[in-house]
Amino acid sequence: MNHVLTRAALAAALTIAASGAHADDKLKVGFMLPYSGTFAALGNAIENGFKLYVAEQGGKLGGREIEYFKVDDESNPAKAAENANRLIKRDQVDVLIGTVHSGVAMALAKAAKDADTTLIVTNAGANAITGPLCGPGIFRTSFTNWQPAYAMGPVAYAKGHKTAVTITWKYAAGDEAIGGFKEGFEKAGGKVVRELSLPFPNVEFQSLLTEIAALKPDMVFTFFAGGGAVKFVQDYHAAGLDKTIPLYGSGFLTDGTLQAQGASAQGLLTTLHYADGLNTPRDNAFRADYSKAYKMQPDVYAVQGYDAAQLMQSGLTAVKGDFSKKEAFRSAMRTATVDSPRGSFTLSKAGNPVQDIYLRRVDGLENKVVEVAVQKLADPARGCKL
């Protein structure tokens, strides 16, 4: 086995040398992620997932060693441009990996485009990134905020719900998730009767829960994630609302959060591009490797990070490790099929995954797959000129 690996490494090195690049040039990868605040666990899971795939490839991508650079973006849009430029200008990274928060990611995408640095977005769903801000060097291995939320619309209507109240943080991800749900729900025949919100990342939900109780809609749809999602689900349950007004959400509501949410989350239905219990050989292998490496189960964020490394591997393989061939590297990534633990996916022209959205039900510590809610759902990529 070692013998085979050594020969493969030698062949890769020779190919790189023949292409004119320096065989010992390391590939510089910059992680711009939240390592503190309400989304800290999400940032860590993305980094873990990325590094797991690299470890599975013997510590390299496209035959290249990797040098990592890291910035904690704190999910703070006000510092986003400066943080992005630390990685782009100071560290001169070849590829940017990030981030979680949509507002931060939009600034990151602008900075990446200005510098013509390749960016792979590993969570943030801001529709604009693969809409008006799309570009040849901009990729996403996660989702648009529209995607999972839209998928819940027809599912909820089919359960007999005619009216809905929505509640979220007032920022791009919240607004767009609500927009997606509303589009799907109203197209199916339902009506969103009130849209409630509070500033990100506030968790003082009490007065809004009182308003929901008074409005008595058939259902509530929500977007919250990370620490905020934990608190929202606990508060909704503690107020007794789950007994009379069923709660639905984009699957971030219950992903990576179940340990903390415990009993309050049981039975919740959400839609997302990943689920527990898929029971495919690909997902089972990924989960076994992840839990062995990190002593915990992976979540959707880990998958998105893992797939960013897989996508890079496709691009780097096509250029035989010579990442100075930027155009060829990028076009190979754009046309790749990613063998994801979620199920394999391709990218739209705009660079966003075209993927199945699962309906999941919380059962113990798992978001168990119920069914595929919408197959191969592509974001409409409104405003992308590619």
Q: Which of 173, 245, 272, 311 binds ligand PHB (CB under 6 A)?
A: 173
Nearer of residues 27 and 253 to ligand PHB, judged by Cβ: 253
Residues across the chain: 386
- Region label for 375, one of left (φ > 0), alpha (ψ between -120 and 50) or beta (otherwise): beta
Nearer of residues 108 and 156 to ligand PHB, judged by Cβ: 108
Nearer of residues 100 and 220 to ligand PHB, judged by Cβ: 100
The burial class, CB within 10 Å (0-12 / 13-18 / 19+), for 299 is buried
- Region label for 337, one of left (φ > 0), alpha (ψ between -120 and 50) or beta (otherwise): beta
Q: What are phi and psi of 65, to 5 degrees?
A: -70, 155
- State the binding string over 140-159 for ligand PHB (x if CB under 6 A, else -): -----x--------------
Provide CB contacts within 8 A for 272, sequence distance 6+: 143, 148, 250, 251, 252, 255, 300, 357, 358, 360, 367
- State the binding string over 228-257 for ligand PHB (x if CB under 6 A, else -): ------------------------x-----
Cβ at position 303, least distance to ligand PHB in Å: 12
- 225 part of the interface to ligand PHB, by CB under 6 A: yes
- 45 part of the interface to ligand PHB, by CB under 6 A: no
Sign of CA dihedral 334, 385, 140, 23: positive
- 100 part of the interface to ligand PHB, by CB under 6 A: yes
- 109 part of the interface to ligand PHB, by CB under 6 A: no
Instruction: Tell me which residue has tokens 């979620």.
Output: 342
- 373 part of the interface to ligand PHB, by CB under 6 A: no
Q: In degrees, to the nearest 5, what angle opens at C-alpha 341 toward C-alphas 335 and 342?
A: 80
- 125 part of the interface to ligand PHB, by CB under 6 A: yes
Minimal CA–CA distance to 33: which of 120, 110, 150, 149? 120
Q: Which of 61, 97, 124, 268 binds ligand PHB (CB under 6 A)?
A: 124
Q: Which of 60, 64, 101, 342 binds ligand PHB (CB under 6 A)?
A: 101
Residue with smallest beta-carbon separation from ligand PHB = 225
Number of residues engaging ligand PHB in binding (CB under 6 A)? 12
Provide CB contacts within 8 A for 171, sequence distance 6+: 101, 102, 103, 199, 200
Binding segment (CB under 6 A) for ligand PHB, from list 94-102, 150-158, 237-245, 320-328: 94-102
- 64 part of the interface to ligand PHB, by CB under 6 A: no
- 102 part of the interface to ligand PHB, by CB under 6 A: yes
Between CA 275 and CA 85 the distance in angstroms is 35
Minimal CA–CA distance to 74: which of 106, 97, 52, 42? 42
Residues engaged in binding ligand PHB (CB under 6 A)? 39, 100-102, 123-126, 145, 173, 225, 252
